[in-house]
Amino acid sequence: MMDRRLIENFDWSIIWALLAIICIGLLSIYSALYHQIQARPTNNLFVKQVIWFTIGFAVLAGSLFINYQRLRSLSPWLYGLIFLLLVVVLAVGKEVHGSKRWLEIAGFQFQPSEFMKVIIVIQLASYFSSQEMSSFPAIKKLISPVGFVVFPVLLVLAEPDLGTAISLMAIAVTMILFVGVRWRYLAVFILTVIPLIVPVWEHVLKPYQKRRILILLSPDLDPLGAGYHIRQSKIAIGSGMLWGKGFLNGTQNKLHFLPEKHTDFIFSVWAEEWGFVGSAVLILLFCLLIFLTLRVATRSRDRFGSLIVVGMSALILWQAFINIGMVIGVLPVVGITLPFVSYGGSSLITLCLAIGLIENVSMRRYVFQTH
Amino acid sequence: MKTRGKKLDGVKLINRERAESVSSQKQYIPIYAVMLLLMMIYLVRLWHLQVLQGDSYRFQSENNRIRIEDIAAPRGIIFDRNGVPIVENRPAYNLVIIREYITDLDMTIRELARLCERGPDEFFSIIEANKATPKFVPIRLVSDMDRDCLARIEAQRVRLPGVVIQLDPKREYKWNGTAAHIIGYLSEITEAELKGEKYLGYYSGEDIGRVGIESSFEKYLHGSRGGRQLEVDAVGRRVRLLEEHLPIAGHNLWLTLDMDLQKTVESLLDDKTGAIVAVDPTNGAVLAFACSPSFDQEKFIRGLSKDEWFALSKDPRHPLLNRGCGAGYPPGSTYKPFVALAALHEGVISSSSTFTCPGYLEFADHMYRCWKEHGHGSLSVERAIIESCDVFFYQTGLKLGVDRLAQNVAMFGLGERTGIGLQGEHPGLVPTSWWKKQATGIPWQKGETISISIGQGFDLVTPLQMALGYAAIANNGKLWEPYVVKRIEGGSSNEIDEIKPRLKRKIPIEQCWFDLVKKALSGVVEDPRGTGHLIRDPVVHIAGKTGTAQVVQVAQGANRKLLEKLTKSKDRDHAWFVGYAPASDPRICVAALIEHGGHGASVAAPLVQKVIMAYLKNAEKPLGE
């Protein structure tokens, strides 16, 4: 049933890079949750994460079997479905720490906003690769893709989940810029948005909203909240020095100084125990992974396929760099997890799906021409 | 045509494919560039953190820990009009533990329980409730410890790592229970309130104002809390201050109340149930505002037990009720000056019109009695006020009609909230025929006009409304909006905000009618036959009006005097007196209401006289400011 060429074109280098990142992730989670693992050896988040990886790989493997060309016709339906789920989650979602992100179906919890990241890529790829689209499209043709993005982003912001909203926007902006935007559109956009900032800040936002934004930009304004997290994160990373303190020897981590250490701040756990060398290796591994996936896009012979791959690469790229940036204190803390490293089921499955689709495009790069 | 079209499409397609493969490589360059740029920035940053500053961070991570501490903001202080502090803050010592530094939690808890003379289970349940909070977050075990307990713990603290004594400002009511209804009290913010929009930026465990000024000026009184990041050693002792944000104290409030007068007024009300409100007729400032019985504000600060709260809320004397402006009472005869002004203004009567009072008025088969059994004879409006003749006002009311009466009386602020800015203000009631149809479905009966003309029936007023209404008569038609806070000071830039008196309206009644009614009101006290003659003072000239408001309808033909002796206290009439002084140049206007007190002339009027004397005597002395 499987064409031999399909297997030949499977890109194993992506899988090797991925496995290396996943190993780092599992080591870090093991260390971050060491106390929990000691207390409950069989029932802890580390075991859960291993189960999530198994499911993730099944999703990755499963996604190889459907020809990605079929997604073109399915995409509006999938987009509509997930969009609906985003509305549903606002209405009946489960509230955790003051935001409604989770839907529970048959005892299984998931975040529709995570899946939106994949669907938005497919939907935009399908739109931009249609016959009547050209590079540097006219303004009329940019209205609907902007709409595809803006409405889900607004729904996600209402949850509120700033991190996912930023991810969605970053993915969409990358894809639109990749297709090409005429200079004058960019100029007009920038010239209309910038003068609006001051009146919106002065008149539309309430004082507490302003304060939240200011704290986001400058955590020192809130030394007991966000500022505390960043300081602890910096101590953890810095104390790793060149070679690190060694596996399971991170004291900041052990003493629970690090907040969200198995999710958003997992990078500091790794950096504390493996030092500059370990951190650099992880960053380079991410660059390698992105380089390898983009290579699939350049090799693909159809626009739809390459756009899918660019979108999925953007998803991994931005999440990785925004997360590391906030943990090392160069970007504001917005709640984005580190792909394949942070704990989290929905996110992991989404990312495995993304890799699956990239491989899907890679495998069918010549098959397409025979049709 | 068709073939040409197809051909063109084919060419387009080929061009497209070519264009795509050519542009492809170029399109990826920005992505690679952004990725490499970020990679370089991050690696440089990590080199800086881990290699260049690594030693310092390693030292911090091994030898020191960071602890965060809240610094509660003191609430604004409340002063009286002369700058006497009424409500302040005192230090309260809280016992706090930080589990991170505790090696043997069980032993520590047992030791602390022994030192505090409390059951260890109480502390264990607090620890259990905070199981999910991170270990470095302080947990409060005891709030506001007494001195003995504090001393015992302080002595043992060296061998109890992780035990911290935290200093917090706590509210202190210097004259506990004095002006309690107007100042209000605090209690801890609830979980539901913390989640709401109204109290954004509040923390759990903070106190918020519940009633009175503490509540309506919450946003001024509540400061904003600060915090500090401390570097501490392995057992939690402070090594170095890393960062500190000082709290911003709440704004201070200066009240219009005069504390000396307030205390005098409250002592007058001591064993009675009722309220006395004194305002300045020249600007609407509230000079004294006393309700009796009062309640213990400090109790709320310490935290009421369930039983205590139950006892307080179920007390038959309702100590929490603000009788000054939170409940409506029939005004009785104190209503008459307003009726007279309404009738004179509408031209229904003139200064010389007379009615004859035989001691009763027969109307639609009913006997409406005057309080004076054998009648007042023929009298004019001035004499009718002085002697408080009921029949005169029955007649006047009938001529005026309910709606014209209501329209004029409402101008004096009756039947509407005064706008003093306290929670739960009662609007009172000035009935109209439309109102009755709406409220009961039954049309207005003319006989009811007779009752409301002497302040009975549906009429409801608050003592505060009466004080302001009489102030409006005293100052020839200026109705002021009352205010209690005259100055707000403090805040980030230490600004001072003086609150200006606000004129609600100028009542469009001719000056000659005000003069006539004012003359009558001073006659009430000065004239030998005036109902308030008892309180006449040779020096200070008081003007005012007595009132005795029926609580229970007296049966027709019953002997009133006998009935009064027989009735139980809760069926006795409400006693009123509203007056101002000096009559020629009014500087204070006082309304006194004594629930079930009996006669206005004998019960309420002497109280008002004492309040006026106390205020004017004091005001003669030059003020400190």
Best of B27, B34, B40, B50 to substitute, by most chain A Cβ atoms within 10 angstroms, is B50
Q: What is the percent of chain B with per-residue pLDDT over 90, rounded to a whole number? A: 45
Would you state the pLDDT for residue A371? Answer: 40
Quick: pLDDT tens for B454-476: 999 899 999 999 999 999 999 99
What pLDDT score does A197 carry?
83
Query: If pLDDT is split at 50, 70 and 90, which confidence band does A352 have?
Result: very high
Per DSSP, helices labelled H in chain A are 4-8, 12-32, 34-39, 45-63, 71-92, 112-128, 139-158, 162-179, 183-199, 207-217, 226-239, 251-254, 266-299, 303-327, 345-363, 367-370
CATH class of the domain at B66-255? alpha beta
Contact (Cβ atoms closer than 8 angstroms) between residue A103 and residue A96? no
Q: Minimal CA–CA distance to A103: which of A90, A115, A93? A: A93
From A239, A283, A313, residue closest to B57, measured CB to CB: A239
**What is the pLDDT confidence band of residue B134, given thresholds at 50, 70 and 90?**
low
Which tops the pLDDT comparison, A366 or B524?
Answer: B524
Enter the pTM of the model: 0.62
Flag if B42 and A330 touch (Cβ within 8 Å).
yes
pLDDT at B618 over 90: no
Give the integer Cα–Cα distance in Å for B97 and B127.
10
Residue B415 — φ and ψ, nearest 5°? 80, 5
B392-428 per-position pLDDT tens digit: 999 999 999 999 999 999 999 999 999 998 888 999 9
> Confidence band (pLDDT; 50, 70, 90) for A35?
confident
Question: Which residues in chain B touch residue A301, judged by CB atoms under 8 angstroms apart?
Answer: 21
**Parallel, antiparallel, or unpaired for β B252-255 and B238-245?**
unpaired
By CA distance, what is B234's nearest residue in A? Answer: A255
DSSP B30-76: HHHHHHHHHHHHHHHHHIIIIIISHHHHHHHHHH-EEEEEEEPPPPP
Lowest mean pLDDT among A251-255, B30-34, B286-290: A251-255
- Best mean pLDDT range from A267-276, B109-118, B197-206, B358-367: A267-276
Q: What is the pLDDT of residues B303-318, one digit of tens each?
A: 777 888 888 888 888 8
Sort out which chain B residues have CB atoms less than 8 A from A251's CB and list them: 61-62
Q: Give pLDDT, residue A282.
A: 96
Condensed to tens digits (0 to 9), the pLDDT of residues A96-154 reads 766 777 887 766 678 889 999 999 999 999 998 887 777 777 778 888 888 999 999 99
Q: Would you place residue A257 in the very low, low, confident or very high pLDDT band (cuts 50, 70, 90)?
A: low
Q: How confident is the model at residue A291 (pLDDT cuts 50, 70, 90)?
A: very high
Question: What's residue A43's pLDDT?
Answer: 81
Per-residue pLDDT averaged across B143-167, rounded?
A: 84
Residue B10 has pLDDT above 70, yes or no: no
Residue B625, pLDDT score: 36
Of all residues in chain B, the percent with pLDDT exceeding 70 is: 89
What is the rounded distance in angstroms from the CA atom of residue B550 to the CA atom of residue B563?
12
Residues 464-523 of B with CB under 8 A from A: none
Closest CA to A312 of A326, A299, A296, A325: A296
- Give the model's pLDDT for residue A367: 55
Residue B236, pLDDT > 70, answer: no
Max alpha carbon distance in chain A (Å)? 63
Give which of B20, B25, B31, B199 to mutate to test A binding, by max A Cβ within 10 Å: B31
The average confidence (pLDDT) of chain B is: 85
Residue in B20, B34, B41, B49 to test binding to A, most A beta-carbons within 10 Å:
B49
pLDDT of residue B44: 95
Distance CA B279, CA B580 (A): 9
Size of interface A-B (CB pairs under 8 A): 133
Nearest to B237 by CA among B62, B59, B98: B98
Query: Searching chain B, which residue's CA lies closest to the CA of residue A176?
Result: B27
Highest mean pLDDT among A209-223, B145-159, B205-219: B205-219
Contacts 24+ apart (CB under 8 A), B28-33: B28/A294, B28/A297, B28/A298, B30/A177, B31/A174, B31/A178, B31/A294, B31/A310, B31/A313, B31/A314, B31/A317, B32/A291, B32/A294
Predicted pLDDT at B24: 60
What pLDDT does residue B565 have? Answer: 57
User: What are the residue numbers of the active site of B?
Assistant: 333
Amino acid at B158: V
How far is Cα of residue A121 from the mean position of the Cα atoms in its chain? Answer: 12
Strands (E), B233-348: 238-245, 252-255, 274-279, 286-292
Does residue B607 contact residue B268 with C-beta atoms inside 8 Å? yes
Using the Cβ of B8 and the Cβ atoms of chain A, whether some distance falls under 8 Å is answered with no
Least confident of A71-75, A177-181, A258-262: A258-262
Token pair 């979108």 is found at A311
Amino acid at A64: L
- Candidate ranges B159-168, B390-399, B598-607; pick with highest mean pLDDT: B390-399
pLDDT at residue B23 is higher than 70: no
| Cα B27 to Cα A177, A315, B19, distances in angstroms | 9, 17, 12
Chain B CB contacts of A235 under 8 Å are 57, 60-61, 66
Contact between B46 and A220 using a beta-carbon 8 Å cutoff: no
Give the three-class secondary structure for A82: helix
Q: Mean pLDDT across the stretch A28-38?
A: 85
Measured between alpha carbons, how far is residue A184 from residues A136, A190, A194, B567 in Å?
11, 10, 15, 93
What whole-number distance in Å separates Cα of residue A345 and Cα of residue A368? 33
Give the pLDDT of residue A258: 65
**DSSP character at residue B329:** B
Q: Write out residues 121-140 of B within 8 Å (CB-CB) of A.
A: 134-136
- B60·A224 Cβ contact <8 A: no
d(CA A119, CA A164) in angstroms, rounded, equals: 14
Predicted confidence at residue B490, as pLDDT, reads: 81
Residues of B (222-241) whose Cβ lies below 8 Å from A: 227-229
* Residue B63: band (very low, low, confident or very high) from pLDDT cuts 50, 70, 90: low
Is B61 within 8 Å of A228 when comparing Cβ atoms?
A: no
In the structure, what pLDDT confidence band is assigned to residue B623 with cuts at 50, 70 and 90?
Answer: very low
| B25 vs A contacts (CB less than 8 Å) | 298
Query: Running DSSP on this structure, what letter comes out for residue B249?
Result: P
Pairing of strands B588-594, B274-279: antiparallel
Q: Would you place residue A253 in the very low, low, confident or very high pLDDT band (cuts 50, 70, 90)?
A: low
Among A162-166, A321-325, B308-312, the range with the most confident prediction by mean pLDDT is A321-325
Please give the structure tokens belonging to residue B419. Answer: 């706008």
CATH topology of domain B259-297+326-620: Beta-lactamase (3.40.710)
Helix (H, G, I), strand (E, B) or coil at A36: helix
Kind plus residue range of the DSSP H or E element containing B354: strand B354-357
Q: Give the residue among B474, B465, B456, B452 at the shortest CA–CA distance from B521.
A: B474
Name B94's Cβ contacts closer than 8 Å, sequence gap at least 6: B140, B142, B143, B144, B145, B165, B166, B167, B168
Q: Please, which residues 347-376 of chain B have a Cβ atom closer than 8 Å to chain A? A: none
Which pLDDT tens digit goes with each residue over B271-290? 889 999 999 999 999 999 99
pLDDT-based confidence at B5, cuts 50/70/90? very low
A324 CB neighbours in chain B (<8 A) are: 42
Contact criterion met (CB < 8 Å) for B31 and A237: no
Q: Do the chains contact at A234 and B57, CB–CB below 8 Å?
A: yes
Given a cut of 70, whether residue B493 has pLDDT beyond it is: no
Q: What mean pLDDT is reported for chain A?
A: 85
Cβ neighbours of residue A185 under 8 Å, at least 6 residues apart?
A: A139, A142
CA–CA dist B544, B181 (Å, integer): 26
Q: Which of A126-135, B365-374, B598-607 has the lowest mean pLDDT?
A: A126-135
Q: What is the pLDDT of residue A173?
A: 92
Is there a contact between A283 and A341 (Cβ–Cβ < 8 Å)?
Answer: no
Q: What angle do CA B484, B489, B490 make, to 5 degrees?
A: 145
Confidence of residue A286 (pLDDT cuts 50, 70, 90): very high
Phi, psi of B324 (to 5 degrees): -70, -35
B52: nearest CA partner in chain A: A241
Report which DSSP code applies to A203.
Answer: I
- This model of the complex carries an ipTM of 0.91
Comparing alpha-carbon positions, the chain B residue that sits nearest to A177 is: B27
What is the rounded distance in angstroms from the CA atom of residue B93 to the CA atom of residue B170? 9
C-alpha distance from A279 to closest chain B C-alpha (Å) = 8
Kindly state the average pLDDT of the residues B232-239.
66
What value, to the nearest 5°, has the Cα angle with vertex A133 and ends A128 and A138?
105
pLDDT at B588 over 90: yes
Least Cα separation, residue A81 to chain B (angstroms):
31
**Contacting residues of B for A317, CB less than 8 Å apart:** 31, 35
Give the separation between CA A260 and CA A323, rounded to whole angstroms.
Answer: 13
Residues, chain A: 371
Portion of chain A with pLDDT greater than 70, in percent: 90
Lowest mean pLDDT among A279-283, A364-368, B351-355: A364-368
> CB-CB: which of A224, A276, A294 is closest to B28?
A294
pLDDT at A1: 46
Chain A contact for B192 (CB, 8 A cutoff): no
- pLDDT for A344 equals 86
